[in-house]
Chains A and B, each alone.
Chain A
Amino acid sequence: MTKRLLEVEDLRITLQAGSGTITPVDGVNLALGRGEALGIAGESGSGKSLTLKSIIGLLPQGAQVEGNLRFALGDESPIPYTSTDVHGRGISIIFQEPMTALNPTMRVGDLIAEGPRIHEGLSKTAARERAVELMRQVGIPAPERRAKMWPHQLSGGLRQRVMIATALSTRPKLLLCDEPTTALDVSIQDQILGLLQEIRINLGMSIIFVSHDLAVLGELCDRLAIMYAGQIVETGPTDDVFTKPNHPYTEALMTSVPSFDATSVKLAGIEGHPPDPRSFPPGCRFSPRCRYAREDCTEADFELVATDADRSSACIHTEVFAEGGR
């Protein structure tokens, strides 16, 4: 593997929900190499967004985080960090809904100029020029004119490009993308994906791309991590996972068709519902919906085990599954 950029070890996020507490992210392990693109797939509520937010230190107030996060700010190996270490420096994030992610009372050029003004100490004019340059870089036509516009005056696709320019304005090493195309028209989705691909290649940036849409991840990512009920149930190189999934949930995801309703990211084709974080099933959390489930599945402790050199799975019956024991 290439040199490591990010390591997530046994990440556990506990939140207040109503009167009780929930642990919607419960023991996540991830590793990301420099320049690598990792895709995280999973149904709605599996904890993808919370995982990203904890990496960049943007969890909601009152969230409790356990586990170890390490990031390589310089050329050395990853070291533990705080959110202020990476805000505006090593890590940037792009959200799903560009309308709500952009400050409605700030001209988009000024927003993009914030990072350069704060971190590079640029003057107002120099920062503004850099903002226009960034806007051109992310393919916004007539950037000088558009820099003076308010977010609501732009189309969804342009807004997301502004968001990307804002994320790039701090020259991050790692770009977190939380379903950046889900809220966009299908034709625009492809353009934005193309842009992210281009940025990644040109700037040599690492990316973690979260989506419920495996096809999107397949285009963009070197490796995949499949998330279910707050845990990573399978990881591996994209092509390998696609040709031969090592976990029944991955297989179910791949045979299912994502629903076309972009706002509800449920997956048609898998029986039942994703479990509620207030009452995760015992043992393997996928067991109530798993077609290969056996008695011992509900007693098994969760553990992500290596199955190949660079693959791992949390299913205790991979041998049955591998033989296609259906």
Chain B
Amino acid sequence: MGRFGFVARRLLQTIPMLFGIVLVVFLVLQITPGDPARQIAGLRASEADLEEVRQELGLNDPIIAQYGRYVGNVLQGDLGYSYKSRKPVADIIGDRISVTVWLLSTGVLMTLLISVPLGVIAALRKDRMADHAIRGFGLLGLSMPAFWTGVILLLLVALPTGWFPAGGFGDTFGEKLRAIFLPALTLAIGSSPFIIRGLRAAMISVMESDYISTARSIGVAGGRLVRRFVLRNAAGPGVTLVAIEIGYLLFGAVVIETTFALPGVGQGLVIAAQGRDLPSVQGYTLLFALVVVAVYLLSDIVTAILDPRVEIDT
């Protein structure tokens, strides 16, 4: 069995969780006040018109049947139709998703580029100048809400230099990169302090362990000690940390896409919520939940690969 068994087991465990998520998302729509038929047919529709819409959508069926149908549809990638544009929700999301993927992947990359070196330095220089300085910058980053950081970057960088668009996305690779740079930086500024702090703590706890004393006693020092003994053991906690942070970043994306007028799923969710477009809200919520589950699953698998002990722990 070994590690392969662990991965297989972990995948199987995810399946009931997925059904749970779909159920919750489904129920949210059920308990939300308001009559979907009225939303679709409009305020001036007659009772007969409403009844027709209900029949069409199956809203009169027992709730179990509706749930069964919803699950079946979701499994086929059918998330229903937007109340507003009447387009399939899956298509609406599909149009917006690439922007958010760009934003998140660039944001995570920038976060790692900032936090891994700073976290390592802070741990190695614990309680010294560099550590205090890094903590100070971290506090600064933490104390600025994302929209505020975004506005500052727009005012101080985008407008004076003209290098970056103040909003929207581009078509060519270069345009996209330029459009995503400041939003991703905003994400990274908000999330790096968490990763730096967590990585520092993970490294310090590793460095205080007996096996580091063993390594030092046989003359392992400097970069070799950090690479082969410290980082390898701090990597597992580090990956988990990043996974948790990506969960938060999804919600950061909602704010940042709105600030930078990026047509991603975060902005889409805001628009759908403002318009009380419930099928779309449902679709976005499902997407966010699935991404979080997928990221956690991935992080568990990566952690398992990094840690030889996992096979006995399960």
Q: Please list the residues of chain A having a beta carbon within 8 angstroms of any beta carbon in chain B.
A: 53, 56, 58, 60-61, 83-84, 87-89, 91-93, 95, 97, 100-106, 111, 114-115, 118-119, 150, 152, 163, 166-167, 169-170
Contact = CB atoms under 8 A, between A and B. Distances in A.
19 contacts: A53-B213, A56-B217, A87-B216, A87-B217, A92-B218, A93-B213, A101-B213, A102-B214, A103-B214, A103-B215, A103-B229, A103-B233, A105-B233, A105-B307, A114-B218, A150-B309, A152-B308, A152-B309, A163-B214
B312 interface: yes
Contact of B219 (A89, A102, A103, A150): A89
Contacts of B251: none
Nearest to B224: A118
B218 A88 contact: yes
B210 interface: yes
Contacts of B312: 152
B149 to A, nearest CB: 35
Nearest to A58: B213
A168 to B, nearest CB: 10
A107 to B, nearest CB: 8
Contacts of A87: 216-219, 221
A88 B213 CA distance: 12
Q: Top 6 nearest A-B pairs by Cβ distance?
A: A88-B219, A100-B210, A150-B308, A101-B210, A115-B218, A103-B211
A118 B209 contact: no
Interface in B198-233: 208-211, 213-221, 224, 228-229, 232-233
Contacts of B229: 103, 106
Contact of A93 (B217, B220, B306): B217
B210 A95 contact: yes
Contact of B211 (A101, A118, A167): A101
A150 B191 CA distance: 35
Contacts of B217: 56, 58, 87-88, 91-93, 167
Nearest to A95: B210
Interface in B216-257: 216-221, 224, 228-229, 232-233
B209 A169 contact: no
Contact of A100 (B211, B216, B219, B306): B211
A163 B214 CA distance: 9
Contacts of A53: 213
A163 B219 CA distance: 15
A152 B208 CA distance: 20
A91 B219 CA distance: 10
A170 B214 contact: no
B244 to A, nearest CB: 22
Interface string B1-36: 000000000000000000000000000000000000
A58 B210 CA distance: 10
B308 A166 contact: no
A152 B307 CA distance: 11
Contacts of B233: 103-105
Contacts of A166: 214, 218
A58 B232 contact: no
Contacts of B216: 58, 83, 87
Given A101-B210, A103-B215, A118-B219, 13 more contacts: A60-B208, A84-B221, A87-B219, A87-B221, A100-B209, A101-B211, A102-B214, A103-B229, A103-B232, A103-B233, A106-B229, A118-B224, A167-B218
Contacts of A105: 232-233, 306-308
B126 interface: yes
A56 B308 CA distance: 30
Candidate in A105, A111, A163 with the most chain B CB atoms within 10 angstroms: A105
Nearest to A176: B217
B74 to A, nearest CB: 40
Contacts of B209: 100
A64 B135 CA distance: 26
A104 B214 contact: no
Contacts of A61: 126
A103 B227 CA distance: 13
A97 B211 CA distance: 10
